[in-house]
């Protein structure tokens, strides 16, 4: 998963605590995404950012906020963690230019447990 | 919006057999269909993709077929090997959108 890094790799939170998941890319691409993966549910889009300074909601945005402060970094924040947010979180980038390839390239993931 | 269904949820085969995973999509405007392989503890990795102007694409032991009329596409793995054991996801992208919609995944187990 070289090119997309996620920190931390693992995290345990108590209900009500807050934290920020970090994602950084060194591939100079515009579009970045946050997904969560739950057993039997596949990958569900939380938020995405088409370019620096823009963000849009995905399928399951409730309980999350995002920041795209520069082209390289896209962070996901849980303001008040709930057990339902226990999941594996993946950051992804979109490869290719406008109208070209659409491959999404995934980071290694962050495993979050909320107790 | 787009909805992608994937079957089966689990698939067990013997080494050397073929494996087929099927997906259906709802949005006739979808024009890009990737398949991802996810090994334990790792992020999904693209293994093959197909665009709506092509009916079939092959890469060594892996092939994908697309039927636009029926709105379904399939992943075919021939001569399976134990290292093919993983979770496979299909996805679809509707034209004009930057988002992929994923299926729920198929856990493939290849027994020696």
- Rounded to an integer, the average pLDDT of B99-105 is 93
So what's the pLDDT on residue A100?
52
Mutate to test the interface with B, among A57, A102, A109 (most CBs of B within 10 A): A102
Q: Which residue of B has its CA nearest to A42?
A: B104
Band of pLDDT at residue B90, cut at 50, 70 and 90: very high
B93 neighbourhood in chain A, CB within 8 Å: 102
Selection from A73, A25, A23, A77 nearest residue A53 by Cα: A73
Q: Which residues of B59-79 are buried (b: 16+ CB within 10 A; e: fewer)?
A: eeebbbbbeeeeebbbbbbee
d(CA B16, CA B10) in angstroms, rounded, equals: 18
Nearest by CB to B104, from A41, A50, A94: name it: A41
So what's the pLDDT on residue A95?
81
The mean of the pLDDT values for chain A is 91
So what's the pLDDT on residue A1?
47
Percent of chain A with pLDDT over 90: 74
Reported as a single tens digit per residue, the pLDDT across B49-86 is 998 888 999 999 999 999 999 999 999 999 999 999 99
Cis previous bond, B8, omega within 30: yes
Percent of chain A with pLDDT over 70: 93
| Strand-pair partners of B10 | B107
pLDDT at residue A39 above 50? yes
pLDDT at residue A66 above 90? yes
A93 touches chain B (CB under 8 A): no
pLDDT at residue B95 above 70? no
Contacts of B89 (CB under 8 A, 6+ apart): A42, A43, B6, B35, B36, B38, B44, B102, B103, B105, B106
d(CA A43, CA A51) in angstroms, rounded, equals: 22
pLDDT at residue A75 above 90? yes
Please give the structure tokens belonging to residue B46: 């693209």
Please give the structure tokens belonging to residue B105: 């995944």
The mean of the pLDDT values for chain B is 94
Selection from B83, B71, B3, B9 nearest residue B39 by Cα: B83
- Burial bucket for residue A10 (CB in 10 Å: 0-12, 13-18, 19+): exposed
Band of pLDDT at residue A67, cut at 50, 70 and 90: very high
pLDDT at residue A98 above 80? no
Percent of chain B with pLDDT over 90: 84
The DSSP letter of residue A85 is G
B49 touches chain A (CB under 8 A): yes
Please give the structure tokens belonging to residue A61: 């945005």
pLDDT at residue A97 above 60? no
Mutate to test the interface with B, among A103, A104, A110, A111 (most CBs of B within 10 A): A104
Please give the structure tokens belonging to residue B31: 């024009």
């Amino acid at each position: 998963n070289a090119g997309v890094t996620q920190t931390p790799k693992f995290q345990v939170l108590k209900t009500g605590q807050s934290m920020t998941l970090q994602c950084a890319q060194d591939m100079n691409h515009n579009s970045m995404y946050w997904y969560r993966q739950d057993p039997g549910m596949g990958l569900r889009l939380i938020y995405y950012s088409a370019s620096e300074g823009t963000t849009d909601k995905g399928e399951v945005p409730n309980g999350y906020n995002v920041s795209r402060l520069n082209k390289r970094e896209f962070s996901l924040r849980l303001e008040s963690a709930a057990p339902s947010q226990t999941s594996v979180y993946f950051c992804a980038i979109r490869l290719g230019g406008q109208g070209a390839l659409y491959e999404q390239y995934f980071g290694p993931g962050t495993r979050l447990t909320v107790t | 919006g787009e909805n992608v269904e994937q079957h089966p949820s689990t698939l067990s085969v013997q080494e050397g057999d073929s494996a087929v995973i099927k997906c259906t999509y709802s949005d006739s405007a979808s024009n890009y269909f990737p398949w991802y392989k996810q090994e334990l503890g790792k992020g999904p990795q693209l293994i093959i993709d197909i665009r709506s102007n092509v009916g079939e694409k092959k890469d060594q032991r892996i092939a994908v077929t697309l039927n636009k009329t029926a709105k379904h596409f399939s992943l075919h793995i021939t001569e399976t090997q134990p290292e093919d054991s993983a979770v496979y996801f299909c996805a679809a992208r509707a034209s004009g959108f930057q988002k992929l919609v994923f299926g729920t995944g198929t856990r493939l187990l290849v027994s020696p």
